[in-house]
Amino acid sequence: QVQLVESGGGLVQAGGSLRLSCAASGRTFSTHAMAWFRQGPGKEREIVAAINWNSIVRYYADSVKGRFTISRDNAKNTVFLQMHSLKLEDTAVYYCAYSGKGYYSMSGNEYDYWGQGTQVTVSS
């Protein structure tokens, strides 16, 4: 079992920044890919960003490229999502996800464990 605990969500004005954190425990973290997904009101869940076990390869959805950065600290079993220039459409519940593999997938079906989610609300 892997436990994932997200933090850092909140209410922010458009154009602002937030940093999400996801702390993992229970199993090996450093050799597994991680990802952030989000689900906005009335929308399907979508991948936001993903990172391979070694941080060398990262993926970003087109909607967040240039504004969001995913990173990880394997010594602290934590993955981060730094979000800048937030837009109204970034409002969603953000979930971190743990893959059973070292290389990321864009499909949520490839992730074995999920956090409880953290709410990000962007206001005008």
Interval 65-74: pLDDT, tens: 999 999 999 9
Spatial CB neighbours of 97, under 8 Å, sequence gap ≥ 6: 4, 34, 35, 36, 37, 108, 111, 113, 114, 115
DSSP state of 105: -
β-strand pairing of 78-83 with 92-99? unpaired
For residues 95 and 44, the answer to whether their CB atoms sit within 8 Å is no
pLDDT band, very low/low/confident/very high, at 10 (cuts 50, 70, 90): very high
Bridge partner list, 71: 80
- Give the C-alpha separation, 60 to 83, whole Å: 12
Q: What is residue 19's predicted lDDT score, i.e. its pLDDT?
A: 98
Other Cβ atoms closer than 10 A to 45: 15
Tokens of 60: 């970003």
Q: What is the pLDDT of residues 43-64, one digit of tens each?
A: 999 999 999 999 999 999 999 9
For residue 27, is pLDDT > 90?
A: no
Q: What is residue 117's predicted lDDT score, i.e. its pLDDT?
A: 97
Q: What is residue 72's predicted lDDT score, i.e. its pLDDT?
A: 97
